Structure formats: C-alpha cells, structure tokens
Structure 1
Amino acid sequence: MENKVKKLRLERAWSQEQLAQLSSLSVRTIQRVENNEVPSLETLSALASVFNVSVSDLVSEPIIESNELDNRIDEARKQVKDEIKLLKKIIVAIIVCSIMYIINYIYSPHLNWPIWVITIWGGILFIRSLKLFLLDKIFFKWQKNRLISLAKKNGTIL
C-alpha cells in the first residue's frame, strides 16, 4: 500500500499536506497509509478519487468491496459530470434569455415574444432536471430490484 500511495503522491509532486487537503483526510491519516497501516474503505475511496484511479489499484491484495466501491465512485463521477452539463445549459439559457428580453424591451416593448422562448427553454431544462435528479434514481432502483427478483426466480445469484 505504502509504495502505491506514496508513489502516486510523489509523481504529482504533492506534499502530504496537499494530499490531505485534496482528499479531505488528515495529514496523520496520509502518514499512516504511507507507513503501511491498513486504511478504511472510506480512506481508500478518498485517495482513489483524488488520484483518479480505482480503489483496487491502491491495494496489494484484492478487496471484495473495492469493486463495488469503484463502481460507486464511477457512478458519482458520472452524476457530477451530468450535473455540470445541466448547470452549463441553465447558465447559457439565462444569459441568452436575458439578452433577448433586453433587446425586446429596447426595440419592441409592446411585444412579449421572449416570454415564449423563456417558457419553452425553461420547460425543457426543468424536464432535464427532473430526469437527472429524480427519474434516473427511480429507474436505477427499479432496475436493481427487477434484476434481483429475476435472479431469484431463475435460481441464480447475482
């Protein structure tokens, strides 16, 4: 363990303090990991996330839970990436709609055509937000439960 974490840290020219800050761990925890003390899965998860590697890449002997933890980290990264995309779309919509509304106010204040664009664009972004924050989670849980029930029905174990 020590060699992998320390090696990754030194490859990036980070001090133990920098790694501790980036991983939200204490310096003492980093020192313990580098001195070959067995870290918790939470510590491994934080370090793997900072180094952008899988948990199994950090450990010498394979840990059964590390694959599940790697999957959770990958899912969290995808979720954050999708949230950033949505946030960018919302910011663009706000800027463009504001500019359209200002132009409308200057040149034809008696017409309110930007309201249609704002309403439609806002509706689309609202639906995408619902999908990202609500529907995806509901369907993921349904899919997981459905797989378990089918596996039990067929006599197989997942």
Structure 2
Amino acid sequence: MKKERQQIISTIVKEKRMELKYTQQELADISNISLRSIQRIEKGEVNPRMHTLKTLSNYLNFSLDILDENYENSTVSKKSSLYKEAILSLILLCAILLIATAYIAQSSNFPETTFELCIYYLLVVVLMALALFNLWKNKTLTTIINKSNS
C-alpha cells in the first residue's frame, strides 16, 4: 500500500515536472526542496511529508485529491449517496402528500371552499420543504442511508 502510494507520487511528480519542462535542479530551486529529495521522490524511494507534497502540488499544478486512496471510491459513493438521498426525499414527499390527501378525503366538512384547500396544500408543501431542508442541512438523510447500508 505504501509502495503503491510512493509509485503514484513518483509518477505524478515526474510527469508533471517533465510536462512543465523543468529539470530536477530547476524544480529544486523554485520549490526550495533539495535536489536529492526530488530525485528520491521521483524514484519512489521515499514517501514525502504532506508539506513537501503541498509544495510540489503548488509548483507542478496537480491536486492532492488524486493521491487519496479512496478518492475514486468516495466520488462514486458520494454520487450514489446523493442519488439515494434524492429517492428517499421523493418517497418522503409522496408519503406526506398521500397522508395530507387522505386527511381531506376522510373529513366531511374540510375544506369548505377551494381557497381553504389551496391554503391547506400550500401549508403542507411549505412544511415538507422545511422538513427536507433541515434533513439535508443536518445530513440526517445521509446518516439514515449509511446506517441502512451497514
């Protein structure tokens, strides 16, 4: 795992340096990292410290996200989690609307006018929006989804 990460860093640093047409010495001079350190990083002999990686990423224009072991997996899981949140939200909306409509259907004297019906549904929609806003803001839906996947 560590060797794989070293090789990934080695490949990225070397390719980016060559892409920018820097020699190892030029990169060492502009980044204030020793020439020997750059040589060892490019050979995959060392696992550089985070400070060194940040400095190299700044001068070589690459993102540290690609070094994250779980970057691709987390991107895919974030998309699927968002998809699941959207589906759960739609199911919640449908359930609330069905309950609200069932309440009206069983009530003999509500609503008396179309205006009351419109106000009622407006309140239901506003309450649903507030509930979903709070669930999404607090990441409650994500927590529910993650617990169900475990």
Q: Do Structure 1 and Structure 2 share a fold, with TM-score over 0.5?
A: no
Could you tell me the TM-score, scaled by structure 2's length?
Answer: 0.39
* Bigger Rg over Cα: 2
